[in-house]
Amino acid sequence: MNGLFCSNFATSRHPWKACRAVWCGSCYTSHPDDRFYVHVPTDEDGDHWGPDKDHLRYQLARNGDHLITPFQCDLCVFHNLQSRNPLLDNPQDTMLLCCIRRANLDSLWGREPPTVQATLSAAQNLLRTWRKVGLQPDLPSRGPYPLGDSFGYRVAIGMLLKSLEPGRYSKAYQQFETVRKLRAGFSNMYLSSAEGTSSLRTMGGDRIKHSLTRSPTQSTWFERFSQGCLRRMGQDVRQDWAITLPSMLELQALLDQEWKEPQSPEHQELVASLGAFSAIAFCASFRGCEAFMVDLRGLIKHQQDLLRMAKHDHVVIPLLGRFKGEMNSRYHLIPLASSTQSGLQVKLWVERLIEVRRQAGRVSGPAFCDKSGQPIQSTVYQEAFAERLHFIQGQKPGVMPLDVDVLESFGVSRSFRRGSTSTARTRGLDDKYVELINRWRKFENARGKRPTLPMKEHYSDIAILIPELIKYSQSL
């Protein structure tokens, strides 16, 4: 009870399963060839921070682990996967045993030591109290487990091996968020397979359902493995930094200076695109992918309508495309103030963008496009913005500190939106206006069943809200 037990034993169905292996927790340690990444908390100088005993985390088991997490020893798992004993001189078998040991340790570390100790103490107390009145111990059986990979070891081993490949942030390993996609892929394949389809059971109605499946990646052991693997590897999340309002003003001033200088048509087009993109993304609190959905024909049409009606206090930004959480392609209209409180010129840059597109003979399609009229790759704008922010950093270190890695810290995906919402809140704007400017991201009717309307009707639908909707961008 105080150790770590593998309770598989010989039966007529499993003649090779005669394990009954027992270890004390501290004896079940990581494999000698284990080179899987273990996250260690460090400060900004890279020095280790935390209790001295933390170096033992994920490297050995604890007494009683088998009482809270399903456990099979390395040999039993190897038999389940290969139907034979491992060969000592076979490098593949050695690596497989290493992966099995790591998968087991990760699954055991899916629960923290206090939880394991509490479960072990509960079992010990039950046995002690039963003995006082002569009751026979009757704890749940620890095995044998079925022959085969019912726990999901194959997928777990695939995830572990995938983690050893070079990643985006490190040449030594890949992030858990990357390797966990193997589990999602296998689960999708299982649910569409003959076995998965025949064993699937659902409960509930049309809107909410709960599914019962025999997929090994949904087992208790696999859940523990995933939790332990995530804790061991940690998460290296590198979010885009928020671009500040002073940085935005310097960026717009730099682009305005470039616009007024003699340039080639290609460079003039790029400058107009960067100016319009940054002004729209910042003032509308757009993610980068959303800003790329601005529709040129709608932009021109609404600009002409506003000029005809002598309305100069706002511009309308039309988005067209398939948005996250929506069933089909949708049209959304976002009114923005023509100029903001700090001096960001949205309308000016929209007019310049329309001008360069007309000069190139384009009146439809995506507003931010390449030479062929296709949506432009975000990397083009990423490099162009990084180049200009780096220039601002050198000229105005008070605006952009010199110790900031511009290329790594800022991105078109999130920097403008994060800077926008942060600026709005620091200026005391009520959260209701932040929610109002983002209202289009939600289904406007129950269940998302909204008819496809002509552009004019879309505008009529929001016209009454324009004074409230533009307060967000006005405040910036």
CA neighbours closer than 13 Å in the CB half-sphere of residue 49 = 7
Instruction: Give 320's strand partners.
Output: 331
In a domain, 342, yes or no: yes
Give residue for tokens 């023509």: 338
As for how many domains the chain has, the answer is 2
In a domain, 466, yes or no: yes
In a domain, 239, yes or no: no
**Looking at this protein, which amino acid is placed at residue 341?**
Q
Structure tokens at 277: 């993109």
Asked if 50 and 161 sit in the same domain, the reply is yes
DSSP 216-268: GGGSHHHHHHHHHHHHHH-----PPPPPPHHHHHHHHHHHHHHHHS---HHHH
Contacts of 128 (CB under 8 A, 6+ apart): none
Give residue for tokens 């059986």: 141
Asked if 218 and 308 sit in the same domain, the reply is no
Q: Give the residue-averaged pLDDT of 56-84.
A: 90
Residues spanned by the domain of 60:
4-233
CB 295 within 8 A of CB 320: yes
What pLDDT was estimated at residue 15? 47
Where does residue 210 rank: exposed (0-12), middle (13-18), buried (19+ CB within 10 A)? exposed
Which one of 233, 263, 283 terminates a domain?
233
Find the DSSP H helices in 22-90.
74-82
Which is nearest to 409 in space by CA: 385, 425, 376?
Answer: 385
244-300: pLDDT as tens digits: 888 889 999 999 999 988 888 888 999 999 999 999 999 888 887 888 889 888 888
Count of Cβ atoms closer than 10 Å to residue 458 Cβ: 18
What pLDDT was estimated at residue 182? 93
In a domain, 240, yes or no: no
Which is nearest to 160 in space by CA: 221, 72, 212, 97?
Answer: 97
Which is nearest to 291 in space by CA: 334, 249, 259?
Answer: 334
Q: Give the residue-averaged pLDDT of 221-239.
A: 87
Asked if 335 and 299 sit in the same domain, the reply is yes
Asked if 317 and 394 sit in the same domain, the reply is yes
Q: Is 49 helix (H, G, I), strand (E, B) or coil?
A: coil
pLDDT over 70 percentage in the chain:
83
123-164: pLDDT as tens digits: 999 999 999 999 988 888 887 888 889 999 999 999 999 999
Split at pLDDT 50, 70, 90, the class of 47 is low
CB 7 within 8 A of CB 142: yes
Could you give phi then psi for residue 217, rounded to 5 degrees? -80, 0
Asked if 207 and 262 sit in the same domain, the reply is no
Which one of 171, 200, 233 terminates a domain?
233
What pLDDT was estimated at residue 58? 92
Give the strand pairing for 314-322 and 329-337.
antiparallel
Asked if 314 and 171 sit in the same domain, the reply is no
What is the distance between the alpha carbons of residues 382 and 2, in angstroms, rounded to a whole number? 57
What pLDDT was estimated at residue 311? 72
**Looking at this protein, which amino acid is placed at residue 316?**
V
Split at pLDDT 50, 70, 90, the class of 101 is very high
- List b or e across 112-124, with b for residues whose CB sees 16 or more CB atoms inside 10 angstroms: eeeebeebbeebe
CA distances for 199 relative to 195, 205, 265, angstroms: 6, 19, 62
Q: Is 114 helix (H, G, I), strand (E, B) or coil?
A: helix
The dihedral formed by the CA atoms of 51, 52, 53 and 59, expressed in degrees to the nearest 10:
110
Count of Cβ atoms closer than 10 Å to residue 430 Cβ: 13
Structure tokens at 89: 């001189």
Which region among 15-24, 329-338, 368-377 has the lowest average model confidence (pLDDT)? 15-24
Split at pLDDT 50, 70, 90, the class of 18 is low
What is the distance between the alpha carbons of residues 299 and 105, in angstroms, rounded to a whole number? 57
Q: Is 4 helix (H, G, I), strand (E, B) or coil?
A: strand
- List b or e across 150-166, with b for residues whose CB sees 16 or more CB atoms inside 10 angstroms: bbbbebbbbbbebbeee
Asked if 383 and 448 sit in the same domain, the reply is yes
Asked if 149 and 16 sit in the same domain, the reply is yes
Give the strand pairing for 4-6 and 21-23.
antiparallel
Split at pLDDT 50, 70, 90, the class of 77 is very high
Strands (E), 346-405: none
Count how many residues are written for the chain. Answer: 476
In a domain, 143, yes or no: yes
Contacts of 402 (CB under 8 A, 6+ apart): 393
What pLDDT was estimated at residue 25? 84
Asked whether residue 447 carries a pLDDT value surpassing 50, the answer given is no
Q: Give the residue-averaged pLDDT of 111-116.
A: 92
Find the DSSP H helices in 309-365.
346-359
Asked if 354 and 412 sit in the same domain, the reply is yes
In a domain, 404, yes or no: yes
What pLDDT was estimated at residue 43? 59
Between 305 and 231, the more confident residue is 231
Give residue for tokens 């040449």: 171
Structure tokens at 378: 């975000």
CB 9 within 8 A of CB 17: yes
Peptide bond between residue 144 and the one before it cis (omega within 30 degrees of 0): yes
Between 58 and 23, the more confident residue is 58
Structure tokens at 413: 């995906």
Strands (E), 237-391: 314-322, 329-337
Which one of 233, 268, 289 terminates a domain?
233
315-353: pLDDT as tens digits: 888 888 654 444 344 567 888 989 998 999 999 999 999
**Looking at this protein, which amino acid is placed at residue 227?**
Q
User: 338: domain CATH number?
Assistant: 1.10.443.10
Asked if 180 and 136 sit in the same domain, the reply is yes
What is the distance between the alpha carbons of residues 437 and 435, in angstroms, rounded to a whole number? 6
In a domain, 296, yes or no: yes
Asked if 256 and 211 sit in the same domain, the reply is no
Asked if 372 and 408 sit in the same domain, the reply is yes
In a domain, 58, yes or no: yes
